[in-house]
Amino acid sequence: MFLKHVPVFAALALLAGCATSPWDVDAFEAPGADMAGRSSFFFAPGDIAAPLATRAERRQQLQAQVRAAIVEELQRHGYVETADAASASVVVTFMVASTRKFIESDQRRIGAPSPNEVLMSGGIPPRPASEVPPEKLVREVALAVYVDDPVKQSLVWRGLVETELRSSSNEMMFRQLAGIARRITQQVPPRRTAP
């Protein structure tokens, strides 16, 4: 009886796996660019907005993590990395920018009373209206991966993700940005092999 439902469970697991990515990629391939027909790429250092990483070592750390994610995915798609931009089919780079904003925190304090306790007579009085609500730092981030034709100096392919990150540390934010870069690069058309 259980074996009869295995295909259904497998299909549901596949759908759940596809739906778990929190980042929607806006991908664009230039008409006639034929990304799948390209074979090699050169990685050019990306542009990082200053508020994300103000110190040089932080910028290098973010650059290295995003680069590793992009290169690994392109190699998985069959493209070969070259050390010379002139001999590469395409030049790959990225750009990341962010703004910071503070929002009211949606988390309860540890040990905070439940609404039933507060609203009951004799309960803890609510917070005064003049008190500033707790805030949380949120970064609005835009990360784009660009694939350009080095000869024509034109865009071949572009992927973009715009999202909010709520990370408590730079290391966590850098890992999330590398994950976004990986997710974007997964949308690059795989290299077409000769028949």
Q: Which pLDDT score, from 0 to 100, does residue 126 have? A: 58
Q: Which pLDDT score, from 0 to 100, does residue 184 have? A: 96
DSSP string, 99-146: EEEEEE--PPPTTPPPHHHHHSTTSPPPPPTTSPPPEEEEEEEEEEEE
Task: Compute the average pLDDT of residues 173-188.
Answer: 94
Domain boundaries, the chain: 24-105+131-185
- Provide the token pair at 168: 């408590």
**pLDDT, mean over the chain:** 80
91-95, 103-107, 137-141, range with the lowest pLDDT: 103-107
pTM (2 decimals)? 0.72
* Domain 24-105+131-185 CATH assignment equals 1.10.10.10: no
Q: How far apart are the first and last CA of the chain?
A: 44
Q: pLDDT tens for residues 116-131?
A: 655 666 555 656 555 5
Give the Cα-Cα-Cα angle 107, 111, 115 (nearest 5 degrees).
70
Q: Which residue has the higher pLDDT, 56 or 41?
A: 41
